């Protein structure tokens, strides 16, 4: 039931802090990160020398973030692919110690299940990150990590996206531990950083009025461009996907530095651009892109970190996020503004946010 919310999208956005707290609770023991669900021995985990992350849609975006976390923290090479592409590829390179991780909220996405079967056929172990207990993905995999986000009713995925990212972060830490590339103190610090995420999301949700105001920019737009760098290029992809799905407004996303290689031709006075520009290593580079956007009279809506005057002075609207200790975890917080923004834009354009046209909650055909 809606329990006082106007729609399931609003309810599920609001449920994110608790979902993540549930997932994180009791995960740090004396020996480090506890993920017994993996059903892999310490030796098996330590031997993993390559990981394929396979998923569709929003879950694929989780995979892009997970790739960075695993490669940065555990130093294990990762390939991330769309299941619908992976299934027809002939260049899949499986070693004796390749692990396949499928990421699927519903656990029933046909392309993702087919990818898991393909990997099993090639001798790889398959591990599922899923939200649905007893789903086909859970039953057919060697190990399952349930994200425990609770039923997701709105067709557009919100809480499963952020919870799946956190699940993958736990997995990356567990792997780093077994590979001996991270000290117990470092693992504990990362775990504490993850523990701070729910409150940061609560803070973003309390600032929904910022998204409501910014939604006006998109009321009569016909297209929008999302830009971000590094891990937040993925936030841009996910923000554009959410906006398209629920508001039917055409949106595309690029790594910010790619704008000048083509998409900049789209810019004209009034054209809406959403820039994800938190306080991180690549901040100043993205600020230059915002200046290029402004120079063409386009309207910039930014997601930025509290107190960032350099962004505030350049943008029509700023969706503020509180500081996040580890810049690799910013996507889990920043995306919440884009979920809320997409919902408000959809509502101002008269769309049914929970049941967008042409879409089903799980895609059970290949
Ligand atoms: C977007 C969305 C879809 C799903 C995709 C995969 O909001 O919900 O893109 O993410 O269909 O679904 P799962 O994760 O159930 O495999």
| In the chain, beta strands by DSSP E | 28-29, 32-33, 50-55, 78-82, 98-104, 125-130, 143-146, 223-228, 250-255, 272-276, 299-305, 317-321
Please state the rounded mean pLDDT for residues 80-86: 98
What's the pTM? 0.98
Taking the C-alpha atoms of residue 227 and residue 278, their distance in angstroms, rounded to an integer, is 12
pLDDT at res. 364? 84
User: Which of 75, 71, 127, 137 is CA-nearest to residue 99?
Assistant: 127
Inter-helix orientation angle 159-178/16-24, to 10°: 20
- Closest ligand 1 atom to residue 58 Cα is 10
User: Which of 300, 317, 320, 292 is CA-nearest to residue 308?
Assistant: 320
| Residue having the nearest C-alpha atom to atom 16 of ligand 1 | 104
Please state the rounded mean pLDDT for residues 97-103: 98
Report the complex ipTM: 0.98
Residue 365 Cα to ligand 1 midpoint, Å, equals 13
Please state the rounded mean pLDDT for residues 292-314: 97
- Closest ligand 1 atom to residue 164 Cα is 14
Question: For the segment 220-245, what is each residue's pLDDT rounded down to a tens digit?
Answer: 899 999 999 999 999 999 999 999 99
Residue 24 Cα to ligand 1 midpoint, Å, equals 23
Residue 340 Cα to ligand 1 midpoint, Å, equals 18
Residue 333 Cα to ligand 1 midpoint, Å, equals 19
Q: What does pLDDT average to over the chain?
A: 96
pLDDT at res. 317? 98
Q: Are 106 and 155 in contact (CB under 8 A)?
A: no
Helix, coil or strand: residue 63: helix
Substitution candidate for ligand 1 out of 109, 149, 248 with most atoms within 8 A of CB: 109
Substitution candidate for ligand 1 out of 8, 55, 58, 243 with most atoms within 8 A of CB: 58
Taking the C-alpha atoms of residue 231 and residue 293, their distance in angstroms, rounded to an integer, is 21
Residue 298 Cα to ligand 1 midpoint, Å, equals 31
Tokens of residue 35, six digits? 């993920």
- Closest ligand 1 atom to residue 156 Cα is 7
Taking the C-alpha atoms of residue 211 and residue 348, their distance in angstroms, rounded to an integer, is 12
Count of helix runs (H) and strand runs (E) in the chain: 15, 12
Please state the rounded mean pLDDT for residues 291-303: 97
Taking the C-alpha atoms of residue 2 and residue 327, their distance in angstroms, rounded to an integer, is 34
Q: Give the residues surrounding ligand 1 with Cβ less than 6 Å away.
A: 56-59, 104-106, 109, 112, 156-157, 241, 245, 362-363
Q: How far is CA 267 from each of CA 91, 223, 299, 347, rounded to the nearest angstrom?
A: 38, 10, 9, 25
**162 pairs with which residues across the strands?**
none
195 is catalytic: no
Substitution candidate for ligand 1 out of 9, 81, 83, 105 with most atoms within 8 A of CB: 105
């Amino acid at each position: 039931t809606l329990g006082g919310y106007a729609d399931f999208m609003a309810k599920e956005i609001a449920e994110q802090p608790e979902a993540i707290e549930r997932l994180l609770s009791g995960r740090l023991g004396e020996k480090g990160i506890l993920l017994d669900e993996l059903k892999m021995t310490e030796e098996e985990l330590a031997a993993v020398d390559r990981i394929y992350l396979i998923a569709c849609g929003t879950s694929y975006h989780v995979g892009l973030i997970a790739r960075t976390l695993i490669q940065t923290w555990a130093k294990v090479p990762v390939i991330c692919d769309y299941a619908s592409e992976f299934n027809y590829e002939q260049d899949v390179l499986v070693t004796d110690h390749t692990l396949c991780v499928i990421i699927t909220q519903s656990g029933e996405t046909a392309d993702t299940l087919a990818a898991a079967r393909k990997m099993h056929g090639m001798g790889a172990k398959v591990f599922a990150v899923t939200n649905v207990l007893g789903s086909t993905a859970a039953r057919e995999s060697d190990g399952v990590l349930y994200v425990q986000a609770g039923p997701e009713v709105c067709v557009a995925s919100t809480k499963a996206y952020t919870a799946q990212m956190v699940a993958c972060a736990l997995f990356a830490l567990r792997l780093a531990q077994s590979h001996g590339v991270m000290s117990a103190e470092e693992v504990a610090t990362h775990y504490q950083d993850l523990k701070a995420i729910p409150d940061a999301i609560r803070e973003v949700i309390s600032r929904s009025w910022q998204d409501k105001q910014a939604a006006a920019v998109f009321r009569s737009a016909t297209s929008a461009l999302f830009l971000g760098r590094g891990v937040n290029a993925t936030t841009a992809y996910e923000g554009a996907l959410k906006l398209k799905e629920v508001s039917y407004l055409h949106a595309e996303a690029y790594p910010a530095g790619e704008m000048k290689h083509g998409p900049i031709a789209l810019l004209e006075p009034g054209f809406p651009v959403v820039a994800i520009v938190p306080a991180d290593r690549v901040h100043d580079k993205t600020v230059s892109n915002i200046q290029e956007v402004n120079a063409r009279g386009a309207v910039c809506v930014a997601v930025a970190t509290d107190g960032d005057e350099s962004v505030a002075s350049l943008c029509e609207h700023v969706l503020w996020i509180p500081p996040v200790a580890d810049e690799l975890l910013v996507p889990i917080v920043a995306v919440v503004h884009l979920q809320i923004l997409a919902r408000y834009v959809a509502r101002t354009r008269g769309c049914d946010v929970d049941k967008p046209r042409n879409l089903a909650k799980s895609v059970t055909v290949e």
